[in-house]
Amino acid sequence: MLSVTPKIELHLHLEGAAPPAFIRGLAKEKRLDIAGIFDARGHYQYKDFWDFLKVYEAATSVLKSPEDYARLTLAVLEESAASGVVYSETFLSPDFCGGRDIGAWREYLHAIREAADQAERTMGITLRGIITCIRHFGPEKAREVARCAADTAGDWIVGFGIAGDEKVLTPKDYLWSFDCAREAGLRLTAHAGEWGGPQSVRDAVNDLGVERIGHGVRAIEDLALVDELAERGIVLEVCPGSNVALGLYPDWRSHPIGQLYDRGVKVTVSTDDPPFFHTTMTREFDELNRAFDWDDGVFANLNRTALDAAFCDADTRARIGKLLET
């Protein structure tokens, strides 16, 4: 029953959503040897979060052209649509798409958008892009990414954010990039409160002025912060399956999303890098249903919160809203 509910997803890394079979096929075509990143069953394998980042970058290394990204986009959206996702926002990194060269980035983006348009026609799923800089690549590269973001901001590239290793430097070190993106009209989000504690969430909200937080779940360790997030209407892009798979919480019932929801924080549900964490949007909804006894009414609330927090324009929001009502 839950699996057929239309769903909104706000936190999905395009390369991180690449089906392993797709990456293996591409590696074979290009005669690249990345066999070490797969286990015997063909799934991605890694030891911990930092090893996961390395495997992620190895998988991404086979994606070398705009055409590769067009194929990736279609493969990813096919998976999302199969889970009932009708609207998705995906993180895109000019670091991986054209090495932060603005001309090359435009070509990658053009190919991704064409594939997204095709998916919208054939699969009924709408995609928008959020450009992310990678925190452990450093502030200099983030500036180049922000320039790419400002150059292509519009009705499809709708946001700017930061991902990667939360333990490297501080949000303030990326202030220039966030200011540049904001001035270009982009909406802002930042990964925080996953590996960093409550203070990392405070820093992202106060120093970067973001309206959404990627993860943010460790805010639960400071209830004053939880209440502040609820009061200020900061939206958390929560990815429970990702947190459980990476060992942040031992199981679904221990995940703080239930408490955050009960205390009035605007929480949403996403998959982050689904094949790496053996999850899908269908599985996230099903597991939350089992862990917290959440019913269709709660999931309708989560969808509504996600749609309100989506960075798309008003016309798109209204169109997607109609899909949720049916």
- Binders of Zn ion in range 85-104 (CB under 5 A): none
**Counting contacts by CB under 5 A, is residue 287 touching Zn ion?**
no
Q: How many residues bind Zn ion (CB under 5 A)?
A: 1
**Counting contacts by CB under 5 A, is residue 237 touching Zn ion?**
no
Q: What is the spatial distance between Cα 172 and Cα 186, in angstroms, rounded to a whole number?
A: 18
The 3-state secondary structure of the chain, one letter per residue:
CHHHCCEEEEEEECHHHCCHHHHHHHHHHCCCCCHHHECCCCCECCCCHHHHHHHHHHHHCCCCCHHHHHHHHHHHHHHHHHCCEEEEEEEECCCCCCCCCHHHHHHHHHHHHHHHHHHHHHHCCEEEEEEEEEHHHCHHHHHHHHHHHHHHECCCEEEEEEECCCCCCCHHHHHHHHHHHHHCCCEEEEEECCCCCHHHHHHHHHHHCCCEEEECHHHHHCHHHHHHHHHHCCEEEECHHHHHHCCCCCCHHHCCHHHHHHCCCEEEECCECHHHHCCCHHHHHHHHHHHHCCCHHHHHHHHHHHHHHCCCCHHHHHHHHHHHHC
In the bound state, the residue with its beta carbon closest to Zn ion is 272
Residue whose CB is less far from Zn ion, 27 or 55: 55
Which of 68, 89, 272, 284 forms a contact with Zn ion (CB under 5 A)? 272
Question: Binding segment for Zn ion among 29-37, 51-59, 124-132, 264-272 (CB under 5 A)?
Answer: 264-272
Question: Binding segment for Zn ion among 62-70, 268-276, 296-304, 318-326 (CB under 5 A)?
Answer: 268-276
To the nearest whole angstrom, how small is the minimum distance from the Cβ of residue 272 to Zn ion?
5
Residue whose CB is less far from Zn ion, 66 or 275: 275
- Binders of Zn ion in range 48-67 (CB under 5 A): none
| 262 closest CA partner among 324, 296, 221, 220 | 220
To the nearest whole angstrom, how small is the minimum distance from the Cβ of residue 213 to Zn ion?
11
Question: Binding segment for Zn ion among 23-31, 203-211, 265-273, 295-303 (CB under 5 A)?
Answer: 265-273
Residue whose CB is less far from Zn ion, 27 or 238: 238
Pick the catalytic residue: 194, 237, 284, 287? Answer: 194
To the nearest whole angstrom, how small is the minimum distance from the Cβ of residue 163 to Zn ion?
5
CA–CA distances in Å: residue 141 to residues 56, 96, 218, 297, 308: 19, 12, 28, 44, 31
Residue whose CB is less far from Zn ion, 194 or 287: 194
Residue whose CB is less far from Zn ion, 27 or 163: 163
Residue whose CB is less far from Zn ion, 68 or 272: 272
Residue 194 designated active-site? yes
Question: Binding segment for Zn ion among 60-68, 79-87, 270-278, 286-294 (CB under 5 A)?
Answer: 270-278
Question: Binding segment for Zn ion among 125-133, 272-280, 298-306, 313-321 (CB under 5 A)?
Answer: 272-280
To the nearest whole angstrom, how small is the minimum distance from the Cβ of residue 134 to Zn ion?
11
Q: What is the spatial distance between Cα 156 and Cα 111, in angstroms, rounded to a whole number?
A: 13
- Binders of Zn ion in range 113-172 (CB under 5 A): none
To the nearest whole angstrom, how small is the minimum distance from the Cβ of residue 175 to Zn ion?
21
Active site residues: 194
Q: Binding residues for Zn ion, per CB under 5 A?
A: 272
